[in-house]
A and B are shown apart, each in its own frame.
Chain A
Amino acid sequence: MALWSTILADLTAGASPSAWSELILTVLLTPAVALAAVTLTHRKRPAEIITVASVVLVVLQTFGLVAGVISKGQFSALGGFLYLDAFGALVLIPIAGVGFVAALYSVSYMGRQYERGVVDDRHIVRYYQGFNCFVLTMLLVPLANNMGLMWVAIEATTLVSVFMIMLYTNQGPMEAAWKYLIVATVGLSLALLGIVLFTYSNTAVSPSAVASGSGMDWTSMSADAKLLDPGIVKIAFVFVLVGLGTKAGLAPMHTWLPDAHGEAPTPVSALLSGVLLNCAIYGVLRFYIVASGTLGAALPSELMIILGLLSMGIAAASIFFQKDMKRMLAYSSVEHMGIVSLAVGFGGFIGLFAAMLHIVNHAVAKPLMFFASGTVSQRYETKVMTEIKGVVKTMPVTGAFLLVGGLAIAGMPPFNIFLSEFLVLTSGFGTGQFLAGSLMILLLVVVFAGFLRHLVPMVFGSPKGPGRAVTADSRPGEDGAGKLAILPMAILVALVIVLGFYIPQPLQTLIRDAVQVFGQGAPP
């Protein structure tokens, strides 16, 4: 631990505040430059190299920004238009991290689709253009201080991801893209209505916000939270919760999610589930902070608990009876966003700590599952789980990864998801929410049973069906997944296991600081 503090101190000692502001700008510029470069070169190989290089740079700069937040607290750029604090930094980490592994996996996955003739050069270039654009718009979400800008960024993520789902021109993806575009845009319109109401109530009480034009800034809203008109804030928060909740996949507004996550190219599904949902729930929580400052925590927390339990309930039933592997994972994302919402609703230091940790843990485990299932369904040429048997025999490495990922995502100890789910339960019972806590245990058991029911035959069943398991490019017992598919999965498996035992000191500090942003509950 002492080592880390020394490194952090060394890293941050020489840097002036303006250096951090510049870093905020360069981290946004990196994918933008990569997008331009991919467009200019317009060929498969350079596009892959540029994209991987771009996400590596984003990861490095994110480390810098996180170190800065830990030592300095918060900083802003462009005259307060952009802003980063511990909560933002916590959401930044999965964007950069999952962006990195998804870029590596893309090279393998899209490369294989290319070899099979599913996509051509034009599609590949379009894919990497979309990928860089997607990373750019997601990075903008936690870096925006102006909530209007955050809205623009979230709406832009919808458009870019619809564009990427449309890469395949079959009936399924197009139907999913259409539903996603329409439902998410209507949801976000509601959210904008809420954001405008927040802005209005802020400018009504704060002449300085009007004068400086900062009425839409989160820093200004949260500073004035106690003065805002409670009647307006109540309506505004409901609008934002329903609107951004749609994008975050909270039930009952989740209807687009299983289609979109199920039909997207697998690396994009990983980004949608592991990162984009976090960005949306991040937006909800920013306004949760303001609303609970105005109204007190009781009403907003109750709403979060109700939506959280509803999401878990719908997801649990759908997971149990699911046949399509990717749709099962999509419903599992609904479940985990429900858990985050529930944890915030339980509140207190432990609840918020658990919510933050769960965001990170889910962002590690879900991409792993999408990558493993994508590799498996490329080999078996189906997403239907009853037709996939004995993965551990046909693909030993990927099969093991699928098993670890599946057990982790279902909440089995000693993996990372178990740790944060346990903390959520602790906070629930600790704050006296016995009914909600008991319901959560019940639903977790259903999800666990549902996952095992599908996972065990897939992993351990005996491989059947002539030609299914043995395709031209691979023999039984040889994994067949390329190195570039194995590497990102191996990184994620390592994280799933390590984070189950121990949370590294800098991450712990960051989460503690992020909980402080919520302004409730002192550390025990």
Chain B
Amino acid sequence: MQVPLSEVLTLSSVALLVSTFGVVVRRGFAGWLSAYRYQSVVLAGSTAVIAYATGLWEIYAAAILTLVVKAIVIPRLLVRVTESVKDEFKIEANPYVSIRLSLLISALLVALSYGVIHETLISANLDVYALTYLPVSVSLFFIGLFVMVSRRMALNQVVGLLIIENGLFLFTTALTQGVSLIIEVGILADILVGVMISALLLLRMSQTFDSFDMVSLESLKDD
């Protein structure tokens, strides 16, 4: 059975956006992580589609790396590090922006992304992958940023950052058919080390501070 390419592209875009909304609507850390894991699996699939269409082995390799690092290693690492952290530090009970309003804003951000890409890259000769995936990748970027600023928990900032990185990866792959593999590996290594360091910091902060609340992180200022 032959599945038309355009439907595969549309389906994977929808799946990516759904997973991002999953992060927006959930309050608990476990929920965010499973949404992120799901997003990374779909991302690896989308990368494989681009690899199949372009026939470049380097993009296949990037897809496999994405699957291994983002869908397996990073979620496990975060779960292990936060094991000892009390549950009340992992649940966003009182975000700056309510969940309902967050959902609405995220939907607007998706619309904005489609508008931005069609406005700015209209002059460029984009292929079908770029046309489908670029607005999605910019949506991930915007929603990731929004998640970072709208929540109180420090853990949420890591999740927001990871969504931003996923958006970046999709943007890079869709627009330039992947920069060379060695750079992709370098970027992935940076993300991995960054997550490790932030996890280490979180662990230490959970021992020193009373909470992961961003309000408790405002002692340094000019006075």
Among A152, A179, A216, which residue has the most Cβ atoms of chain B within 10 A? Answer: A152
- In the assembled complex, A465 has its CB within 8 A of some CB on chain B: no
Dominant SS among interface residues on chain A: helix
Considering only CB atoms, which chain B residue lies closest to A196 in the complex?
A: B172
- In the assembled complex, A213 has its CB within 8 A of some CB on chain B: yes
Q: Once bound together, how far apart are the Cα atoms of A185 and B201, in whole Å?
A: 15
Whether B222 pairs with A159 at a CB distance below 8 angstroms is no
Interface residues of A in 278-331 (CB under 8 A from B): 318, 321-324, 327
Dominant SS among interface residues on chain B: helix
Whether A169 pairs with B204 at a CB distance below 8 angstroms is yes
Whether B219 pairs with A193 at a CB distance below 8 angstroms is no
A327 contact set on B, CB distance < 8 A: 222
The answer to whether residues A159 and B194 also contact, given A171-B208, A204-B124, A258-B222 and a CB cut-off of 8 A, is yes
Name the segment of A40-48, A113-121, A229-237, A353-361 touching the other chain: A229-237
Residue of A155, A215, A318 touching B222 (CB-CB under 8 A): A318
Residue of A163, A166, A182, A193 touching B204 (CB-CB under 8 A): A166
Whether A181 pairs with B201 at a CB distance below 8 angstroms is yes
26 residue pairs from A and B, CB less than 8 Å apart: A146-B183, A148-B183, A152-B183, A159-B190, A166-B200, A169-B208, A170-B208, A171-B208, A171-B209, A174-B208, A175-B219, A177-B201, A181-B201, A189-B161, A189-B165, A192-B168, A196-B171, A196-B172, A196-B175, A201-B124, A216-B180, A229-B124, A232-B121, A235-B120, A263-B220, A321-B222
A162 contact set on B, CB distance < 8 A: 197, 201
Residue of B168, B186, B222 touching A152 (CB-CB under 8 A): B186
- In the assembled complex, B30 has its CB within 8 A of some CB on chain A: no
How many A residues have CB within 8 A of the partner chain? 53
Whether A185 pairs with B124 at a CB distance below 8 angstroms is no
- In the assembled complex, B123 has its CB within 8 A of some CB on chain A: yes
How many B residues have CB within 8 A of the partner chain? 41
Interface residues of B in 104-125 (CB under 8 A from A): 120-121, 123-125
B131 smallest CB distance to A (angstroms)? 14
A164 smallest CB distance to B (angstroms)? 11
Whether B141 pairs with A213 at a CB distance below 8 angstroms is no
Among A151, A175, A324, which residue has the most Cβ atoms of chain B within 10 A? Answer: A175
B183 smallest CB distance to A (angstroms)? 4
Whether A185 pairs with B194 at a CB distance below 8 angstroms is yes
- In the assembled complex, A156 has its CB within 8 A of some CB on chain B: yes
B44 smallest CB distance to A (angstroms)? 19
B205 contact set on A, CB distance < 8 A: 174, 178
Whether B190 pairs with A189 at a CB distance below 8 angstroms is no
Q: A174-B205, A203-B176 are in contact. List 11 more A-B contacts (CB 8 A).
A: A152-B183, A156-B190, A158-B194, A166-B200, A185-B161, A186-B145, A196-B176, A200-B176, A229-B124, A232-B121, A232-B123
A165 smallest CB distance to B (angstroms)? 10
Q: Once bound together, how far apart are the Cα atoms of A174 and B141, in whole Å?
A: 27
- In the assembled complex, B198 has its CB within 8 A of some CB on chain A: yes
Q: Once bound together, how far apart are the Cα atoms of A201 and B123, in whole Å?
A: 11
Whether A178 pairs with B201 at a CB distance below 8 angstroms is yes
- In the assembled complex, A172 has its CB within 8 A of some CB on chain B: yes
- In the assembled complex, A385 has its CB within 8 A of some CB on chain B: no
A470 contact set on B, CB distance < 8 A: none
